Amino acid sequence: MVNSIQKDRAMAGNEWINGYLEAILDAGTKLSRQKSISSTLSPPAGRAPPYSPTKYFVEEVVNHFDDADLHKTWIKAVAMRSSHERNQRLENICWRIWHLTRKKKQIEWEDERKLAKQRMEREQLSKVAAEDLSDLSEGEKEKGDAKMPMLRIDSNVQIWQDEQAQNKRLYIVLISLHGLIRGENMELGRDSDTGGQVKYVVELARALGGTKGVYRVDLLTRQISGPDVHWSYGEPVEMLTYGDRNSHVDSCGAYIIRLPFGPGQRYIPKETLWPHIPEFVDRALAHITNVARSLGDQLEPAGGGKPIWPYVIHGHYADASEAAAHLSGILNVPMVITGHSLGRNKLEQLLKQGRLSKEDINRTYRIMRRIEAEEAALDAAVMVITSTRQEIDEQWGLYDGFDVNLERKLRVRRRRGVSCFGRYMPRMVVIPPGLDFSYVHMQDLSESDADLAKMIGPDGGQSRRDLPPIWDEIMRFFTNPHKPMILALSRPDPKKNVTTLLKAFGECRPLQELANMTLILGNRDDIEEMSGSGATVLTTVLKLIDKYDLYGLVAYPKHHKQTDVPEIYRLAAKTKGVFINPALVEPFGLTLIEAAAYGLPVVATKNGGPVDIVKALNNGVLVDPHDHNAISAALLKLVADKGLWMECRRNGLKNIHRFSWPEHCRKYLSHVEHYRSHQTATSLEIMARMEEPMSDSLRDVEDLSLRFSVDGGDLQTNGGVSSIVEALHQHRHDHTHSLMNNTYMFGPGKRQRMLVIAVDCYDTNGLIVLHDFSVLIRKIMAIGGTNGCTGFVLATGATGKETIEAMQQCDIPPRGFDALICSSGSELYYPWRDLMPDGDYGVHIDYRWPAEHVKSTILRVAQMENNHEEDCLIVDEEACSWHCNAYSLKQGAKVCNP
């Protein structure tokens, strides 16, 4: 066996395994056989003696690889009496560790190579931008130093004031697609999709709805009607606030608008929502248009009811941000996004763990589709709202659409009126989430412990009925309820790192003697009925409680309501307890602000938003979430030192106003107003309602002043082109537009109308008649103008190649069109982007497309009964595609007209 091991090691050439293999084989025994193996596998000269294998497995294997099976195998191996069987088990463990390490190193190497490539590209872009800034003065360059903090508001951004908002009637649209969203009794922690984001968007809608100057707020989400969710999630409209009826301009308030899209009778996770986003965009567009028209009729009846379009469209998370990007482009409304959590950062963290390959991660989380949506949203947004600076530097900085240094330089160029050569990046703005302080009563923050005495006193049985029921639900777990309470509140997700917290508590005897622990991990009825990672986390929690014998010291209630959360914070504060957030990475950490509002000192992860929160509040300690000893030491320090506990409590209460919702809304509206002022596009106009019934709308088709070009007459005659041009002249807008230049600029958000030029003019050989083709297109485009308010679409039966060649021969730039519809509608091109067929459109029309059946049917139907020639139609191979069949007729043959 020894020779076999040596051979395998020589082939692998891995020095890492040598020391640990010897350490394990040499541990805890003095048998002669064991000594023989140890001498055979002696380490190279000069190598330091190996440390304890027990310490290695506990600290390296369990902590770094998180593989409990390895640790169990180690325990079993040590307990065996047979040295041969024990050694065989230990060898197997070594090789498993070796393979895990090789896999992890390979993933890290690939990740480092990818990051190096991204850094190289960013450096190149930064170098180009720096060269473009050569005309700036040295003073301006120093002002834009990247070392300057990004949290400050630009000097030219005016803070939103009540006086400024008096005459404003703003309509704001928020979008949050996944999860279960309702105004009251939110089911936070029900699953991974119903967490802090749900609470954030609902409270943001409420706060904006109560801000002066805001007339209406719509929070758009998914309507779900099914047996697995509450009936309230199927209600189309839910009112959050009733508006300010005391002001001279009445406010509509804030609403949750649930739009049906995707599987109607089923609640699905966010990873499977991607194919249904276009359906949501269609329904959201119809809703926004109806509300804009209604608000115009309501607020400006004398002015003809001009629609009041959204002031801003705000997408939350990647799915809603993609939808917001589409709506923003259609409606020409500024778009704002909030990431909450980002795909590239999550992919990076999962790859570092080494458990899943990139393909498995993408298959499970649709991570590449999510990253694609985030990149698209970055390109369309005017502003990105973040909670912390760390989110900007370490998360958004991973994206192709954003670079901190390049964004600063582009901003300097725009401010000075210098061309940016088409490069654009949104502005990153740090606005921490707010907290609803209406639930916090100052009398609850007093130093009195009367309520706690009622709960745990000798005569508490008669007084408990006056106290919150959740208190009794928690206290029943404790043997000694007098001790301070360590509170953790999160959903049962592996990244929340609750298992490391329990390990820290279980291995620190002084902490167990001084404090109890309460774990609020969502709601559950039966762990066995749960699916996914939540069941795994809860099962591990119960096993750790049993392993460290923490019965009577740890509370883990099965149920709590959203209205119980403030009472849980109150109970922890009255016991002189501590709140802890040990998450591996926390994008922001709203629970830390909530805990501070109730006077609780905090211990929080040093990765993410808690860094800024604790710095602003000065009410706690930051720790490494991977180090359970550091966690237990920080908790013990706050629990044992009552002077420090009281100082942290006072600091948190003194500084908590920085995170209020009114403060958040003022900063929010200030930045939106600033970036709207730089929006030069005109507002969208919509057609007036058609009041006539459907039966009358098509009564006289001849009254339509603009018909298809095929109805405009023979293009070979003098009246063909002139009749179409005359019809367009009659329907030009009364107002005229000054032509800024003679070049066409693509800008879909600026379109006031769209002209579709349907032209097919061929000679007897089937070739495009270039003269007629050119005359018609040029005359119609001359009428539409070149100021960007009119868009053009060319529709033709010719192939894309034939169309582009004809346009080039006629000296008509393809980029002058918003779209080219070719091959009789089977191909769609966007010339302003590229000259390739749109893949998404091809997939769309390919759904259930029976290409072979259509081809055979055409040949069969076109065959006339008295025609004895079977091949009267000749297939035009060059003009054919998968979705379009083209034929030419044989000389003298006749066919039926299908």
380-to-222, 270, 326, 583, 793 alpha-carbon distances in Å? 23, 22, 9, 32, 23
Q: What are the φ and ψ backbone dihedral angles of 486, each rounded to 5 degrees?
A: -90, 115
Q: If you average pLDDT over residues 869-879, what whole number do you get? A: 71
Rounded to an integer, what distance in angstroms lies between the CA atom of residue 67 and that of residue 58? 10
**pLDDT tens by residue, 454-468:** 556 555 444 566 688
At 545 the pLDDT is 93
Q: Which residue has the higher pLDDT, 190 or 183?
A: 183
Instruction: Please state the length of the chain.
Output: 898
> Among 17-26, 362-371, 398-407, 490-499, where is mean pLDDT lowest?
17-26
- The percent of residues above 70 in pLDDT, for the chain, comes to 69
List CB contacts of 126: < 8 A, sequence separation 6 or more: 403, 405, 406, 409
Q: Which residue has the higher pLDDT, 2 or 879?
A: 879
Rounded to an integer, what distance in angstroms lies between the CA atom of residue 822 and that of residue 842? 12
Q: What's the token pair of residue 20?
A: 């640990």
Q: What is the pTM of this model?
A: 0.54
CA dihedral 92, 93, 96, 102 (to 10 degrees): -120
Strand order in the sheet with 427-430: 237-239, 253-259, 214-222, 170-175, 312-316, 335-338, 383-386, 427-430
The H or E element containing residue 387 is none
Whether residue 734 is predicted with pLDDT greater than 70 in this model: the reply is: no
At 778 the pLDDT is 86
> Among 102-111, 403-412, 769-778, where is mean pLDDT lowest?
102-111
At 409 the pLDDT is 83
Rounded to an integer, what distance in angstroms lies between the CA atom of residue 571 and that of residue 470? 9
Whether residue 517 is predicted with pLDDT greater than 90 in this model: the reply is: yes
Rounded to an integer, what distance in angstroms lies between the CA atom of residue 484 and that of residue 515? 5
**pLDDT tens by residue, 674-706:** 887 665 444 555 545 444 444 444 344 344 333
At 97 the pLDDT is 72
Whether residue 369 is predicted with pLDDT greater than 50 in this model: the reply is: yes
Q: What's the token pair of residue 316?
A: 């939350």
**pLDDT tens by residue, 129-188:** 555 444 343 333 433 343 333 333 344 566 666 656 667 889 999 999 999 999 988 888
Q: Which residue has the higher pLDDT, 501 or 100?
A: 501
At 684 the pLDDT is 55
Q: Report the b/e string of 9-43 with b at 16+ CB within 10 A.
A: beeeeeeebbbbbbbbbbbeeeeeebeebeeebee
Q: How confident is the prediction for the chain on average, in pLDDT?
A: 76
Indicate the SS3 state at residue 59: helix
Rounded to an integer, what distance in angstroms lies between the CA atom of residue 309 and that of residue 213? 15
At 291 the pLDDT is 93
Q: Which residue has the higher pLDDT, 838 or 246?
A: 838
At 465 the pLDDT is 62
**pLDDT tens by residue, 300-319:** 765 566 889 999 999 999 99
**pLDDT tens by residue, 217-233:** 999 999 998 888 999 99
**pLDDT tens by residue, 33-58:** 333 433 433 444 444 444 454 455 54
pLDDT band at 857 (very low <50, low <70, confident <90, very high): confident
